[in-house]
Amino acid sequence: AQSVTQPDIHITVSEGASLELRCNYSYGATPYLFWYVQSPGQGLQLLLKYFSGDTLVQGIKGFEAEFKRSQSSFNLRKPSVHWSDAAEYFCAVALNTGFQKLVFGTGTRLLVSP
Amino acid sequence: NAGVTQTPKFQVLKTGQSMTLQCAQDMNHNSMYWYRQDPGMGLRLIYYSASEGTTDKGEVPNGYNVSRLNKREFSLRLESAAPSQTSVYFCASSEQRQSTYEQYFGPGTRLTVT
């Protein structure tokens, strides 16, 4: 069965430092890939998505992610973190056949230190 | 455009009580979903409705029922609440067209069962 792994439960980054959040998936074929962000007490908001084509995708709020087929990874990056980026981040995948259901990772909570 | 709305925002139930969580979307999406979010578990799909008139079980359907009332509304019912159903519940909606599988989420309902 398909699965998504986010190996880091918590990450603390200093404001202004770079960020990379890891995501690995388990599928037979290339899935559709998503990163969502959840601010405290809020619903989820889509940051970016990958369906096909260029493996480096740009999203909102200055985030980007790179799909690496050989590593089954879709890591999220930001060159300079802002205090407002503190939130929980979820990676999700969907099969690219039939009806699309998302399978979510367990999330990574980002803390930003001054 | 309100997007996806959910009511109530908070609810406390006693074991054995019943309640219905309401969800509505104004984006004319065909598909709607109910998830639960528990610490360390990410989001898990309870039920979904691919289109008006259809509903299907997700990953964790036991103890829940759903109704797709019309294209806009998708409700989740707990017939006899149990403490294990204490969670945050999210409704989402999406289209199912190529390259537009993004799901839009409501703000959530925080449910406590005592």
- CATH number at A81 reads 2.60.40.10
What's the rounded Cα separation, in Å, for the pair B96 and B85?
A: 29
Residue of A46, A94, A104 lying closest to B43 (CB–CB): A104
Residue of B40, B96, B106 lying closest to A100 (CB–CB): B96
Is there a contact between B25 and B104 (Cβ–Cβ < 8 Å)?
Answer: yes
Mean pLDDT across B44-50? 94
Q: How many domains does chain A have?
A: 1
Number of residues assigned to chain B: 114
Does A95 have pLDDT greater than 80? no
CB-based contact B45 A102, cutoff 8 Å:
yes
Instruction: Give the tokens for residue A89.
Output: 């981040």
Q: What is the pLDDT of residues A6-43, one digit of tens each?
A: 999 999 999 999 999 999 998 767 788 999 999 988 88
Mean pLDDT across A73-87? 96
Instruction: Give the tokens for residue A103.
Output: 């399978």
Instruction: Give the tokens for residue B10.
Output: 């908070």
Best B49, B89, B103 member to test A by mutation, with max A CBs in 10 Å, is: B103
What's the rounded Cα separation, in Å, for the pair B79 and B49?
A: 19
What's the rounded Cα separation, in Å, for the pair A86 and B35?
A: 23
Range of the domain at A61: 3-113
pLDDT of residue B99: 60
Looking at B4-108, which runs of residues are DSSP E strands? 4-7, 10-13, 19-25, 31-38, 42-49, 56-57, 64-68, 74-78, 87-94, 103-105
